[in-house]
Amino acid sequence: MEIQELERLSSQVRRDIIRMVSAVQSGHPGGSLGCTDFFVALYSNIMKHDPSKFTMKGEGDDLFFLSNGHISPVWYSTLARSGYFPVSELDTFRKIGTRLQGHPSVDKGLPGIRMASGSLGQGLSVGVGAAQAKKLNQDKGIIYTLHGDGELQEGQIWEAAMYAAHQKVDNIIATVDYNGRQIDGDCFKFRKFTSQVGSIRMESIGNGWS
């Protein structure tokens, strides 16, 4: 997709996010709007995937896991605009019985989602497991994960990062939305809980990440 088309799609996704969150006066627009370009580029130009043939196993495909699940609006909009389900379904966001729960779930079978998230810190563990499964199956697919920077205060993130480095898992790309903000305010105010938040250098945990 050319840059003009990517920019047009990003604008559309941002409009979707505002409409969805405004309609129910509930949700997380900040991280969603901030990550829009990432999602549009990932789903339009980077990942190998076929929205018309979605399966939970995703054999042969690249897979994405959203670890900071509260930014679901940007993911739902990107999935719909990519063809995973009708755009009209975005109007059901956070309503009773919807497949578009405030935090992504898999129990209602929304195409494009393979992991429930919202409880922070779990996505990298799931991603590393999926990456290892791909290698065991001689599947060339790549795993992508997204995390909030505040989420890096979850110990499980670092357990997964260290494990992946030790196991030499090289088919996963983890991205951090480094916006300096978390629900309680400034991320750096909480730096004492995780010295890594100030300068994200995953290679410092064992030269396994670059």
Residues within the interface to Mg ion (CB under 5 A):
148-150, 179, 181
Q: In whole angstroms, how close is the CB of 182 to Mg ion at the nearest point?
A: 5
Nearer to Mg ion, 92 or 179 (CB): 179
Minimum CB distance to Mg ion, residue 148 (Å): 4
Q: Is residue 124 a contact partner of residue 145, using CB atoms and an 8 Å limit?
A: yes
Cβ closest to Mg ion, residue 35 vs residue 130: 35
Judged by CB, which is closer to Mg ion: 104, or 150? 150
Nearest-approach distance from CB 34 to Mg ion, in angstroms:
8
Tell me the Ramachandran region of residue 138: left when phi exceeds 0, alpha when psi lies from -120 to 50, beta otherwise.
Answer: left
Amino acid at 82: S
Neighbours of 132 (CB within 10 A): 17
- C-beta closer to Mg ion: residue 141 or 150: 150
CB of 48 vs Mg ion, minimal distance in Å: 28
Instruction: Work out the number of other CB atoms within 10 angstroms of the CB of residue 210.
Output: 7
Alpha helices by DSSP H, listed for the chain, are: 3-24, 29-34, 36-41, 72-82, 123-136, 155-166
**Helix axis angle, 3-24 to 72-82, nearest 10°:** 130
- Rank residues 61 and 151 by Cβ distance to Mg ion and give the closer one: 151
State the minimum distance, in angstroms, from the CB of residue 70 to Mg ion: 10
How distant, in Å, are the alpha carbons of 63, 107, 158, 200 from that of 171?
Answer: 11, 27, 18, 20
Q: 195: Cβ–Cβ under 8 A, 6 or more apart, which residues?
A: none
CB of 192 to Mg ion, least distance (A): 17
Residue whose CB is less far from Mg ion, 69 or 150: 150
